[in-house]
Amino acid sequence: MAVVFQAIGADTALSSTNLFVSKRTHFSYRQSLPERKTSVCAVRSNGISFSGLNSRGRKAEPLITNAVATKAESPTASAASKPGHELLLYEALREGLDEEMERDPTVWVLGEDVGHYGGSYKVTKGLAEKYGDLRVLDTPICENSFTGMAIGAAMNGLRPIIEGMNMGFLLLAFNQISNNCGMLHYTSGGQFTIPVVIRGPGGVGRHLGPEHSQRLESYFQSIPGIQMVACSTPYNAKGLMKAAIRSKNPVIFFEHVLLYNIKERIPDEEYVLNLEEAEMVRPGEQVTILTYSRMRYHVMQAAQTLVNKGYDPEVIDIRSLKPFDLYTIGNSVKKTHKVLIVEECMQTGGIGASLMAAIDENFHDYLDARIVCLSSQNVPTPYPGKLEEQTLVQPPKIVTAVEQLCASTGSCQ
C-alpha cells in the first residue's frame, strides 16, 4: 500500500484566485458572439431500444437512438465500410481508462469490486490483470474513507479514478467531495491540485427503485471547484474520460446505467475531447433543444417526429454540466430565439434550472418566448415500470412542447 501513497510528482502550483484550471477564453456573453470556426462531427449511435408507457397509458414508440442525427446522410454508407472499431459504451470507457493508465503511471483506479471482478458494469474488467492490484485497488464498502484516501493521493501527485458502484452511494462521501475535493486548491492557496475523477453509473434505470435511481448532478453542481460532465455515446464517453483524467481539476463523470450497451464505431487513432464544450447533435433553425445523457435519445426520437411534421429543431448535447458551454448555447439561441431544455434531473433545483438562469441572464434580449424546461417529477422514482415511466420526460411531451413554443411565436413550420 505504501507504493500507492508515494508522491510521484507534483503538478505546477496554480493561482489561488482560480478555482478552475481552464483553457477556455472567458468573455462577456452579452456581447455579440462571432461564429466559431470549428468542424462538427455528428456522432450516431446504434444501441438498445426502449419501449414503455407514456403519461396517458398508451404504448410509447420504440426509442430510435440515432434518429435525425444530421440533416443529410448518404444512405449508401454502411457501418462496416467506415474506419475505426465498434465498441459498446462501457467498453469505450474501459479503452479510455486503459490508454491513460498505459500512458501515465500515476493513473490508478479504486473502488468496490473494480479489481478482478471488473466493476459492477465491467468497465474495469481486465485492468487488474494488466496493471496489478495496487493500480486497480479493491476497497471495502466505505465510500467516505476511500474517497478521502484518493484525494490525499492526488495531493501527492497521483491521478486517482474513483468508481462509485452506484452514484447514489457517493452521497456517503459528500463531505470529502465538497469540503476537500472541491476546495483544497483554493484553501491551500494554490499549493495543491486535485486531479481526481469520480465516475460511476446513475440515472433512472429499470425497476431499480428510488435509492438506486439518483441523479446527483443537482447535488454536486453548487460545490465550488468541481467540474461535471455527462457522456451519452461511446465516442464522447472515451474522449471525455481521457480529458477528465488529464485535467488538473476534480471532475465528476456521470454515466447513465441504461446507456452502457449503446454501440458505436469510434476512431482507431487517439482523440481527446474538450471537457467544456457542448456537442451539436443536429443543426436546425426553429428552436434550440438542450439536453444531455439518456435524454439525448428521447430528444432525438422526438426530433424525428418533429421533422416529419415540418419543424426544424436544433439539438445540442450540453455534455459539460459545469461549467456550461455558453458559447455554443449562445450562438444557437441567437439563431433560433427559442429554448427547450430536456433533462432527467428533478424539476426543483436541477441542471435545467441553472441552465435557464444562465441563458436568461446572458441572452435574454435574444429570446422571443420564455424558456421551457421539461424535467422529472418531484417524487421518489417508483419501482413499478409503468409508474417509473410516468415520472420521466417522454418523447410525445417533447413534441408537444416544441409545437407550443413555435405556435406562441408564430414560427410554425
Instruction: Please pick, among 212, 256, 298, 337, the residue that the annotation labels catalytic.
Output: 212
φ, ψ dihedrals at 274, nearest 5°:
-80, 125
Q: Partners of 136 in the beta sheet? A: 109
Q: Partners of 230 in the beta sheet? A: 254
Whether omega before 323 lies within 30 degrees of 0, making that bond cis, reads yes
212 is catalytic: yes
CA proximity to 169, closest of 218, 211, 137: 211
Beta strands in 82-169 (DSSP E): 85-88, 107-111, 136-138, 159-163
Instruction: Please pick, among 91, 100, 112, 143, the residue that the annotation labels catalytic.
Output: 143
143 is catalytic: yes
The angle formed by the CA atoms of residues 259, 227 and 37, to the nearest 5 degrees, is 80
For residue 196, what is its C-alpha cell? 481526481
- Residue 255: how many other CB atoms lie within 10 Å: 25
Tell me the one-letter amino acid at 130.
Answer: K
Q: Supply the residues annotated as catalytic.
A: 143, 212
